Amino acid sequence: MRNRNGVGILVDDELRKQVVEVKRVNDRMMSIKLVIGGSSWNIFSMYAPHISLDDEEKKKFWEDLDEMVRSVPSNEKFFIEGDFNGHIGSSSKGYDDVHGGHGFDVRNVEGATFLDFSRAFRLVLVNSNFPKKEVYLVTFYNSVFKT
């Protein structure tokens, strides 16, 4: 079977020996576990379904992520990184406990799901907005027009 997507985790060569486990849940999520200084660190990498995909696939993604988080023992740390394909919005209104006030656009259903998930597991979003220079955003320009 051919994967449609694929996630990965890059590990510094010096940390490679600390990796004790690698789990690929599906083509949208994987995790690694490192033991550093006697502490276990679980790193999750995700790629959520696009907004245009069906609700069943989105539901399965969130169920799989829920299961991954619940599988981490309470004495271990975990970090989740990835593309959750949603807008949490520029306003933290209603989500001040998980949203630092730095987001983009208007919150959509997928963004609200992400915030609800964060709240359920007492997680905090640390970065959801990566500003880019205009030169990287403009794909065409001339003396009159740019897109």
The Cα–Cα gap between 51 and 83 comes to 12
What are the sequence ranges of the domains in the chain? 16-137
Name the pLDDT band for 129 (thresholds 50, 70, 90): low
How many helices (H) and strands (E) are present in the chain, helices listed first?
A: 3, 4
Question: What is the Cα Rg of the chain in Å?
Answer: 18
Q: What is the CATH number of domain 16-137?
A: 3.60.10.10
Please say if the pLDDT value at position 1 is more than 60: no
pLDDT per residue as tens digits for the range 8-59:
899 999 999 999 999 999 889 999 999 999 999 999 999 988 878 888 989 9
Q: To the nearest whole number, what is the mean pLDDT of the chain?
A: 86
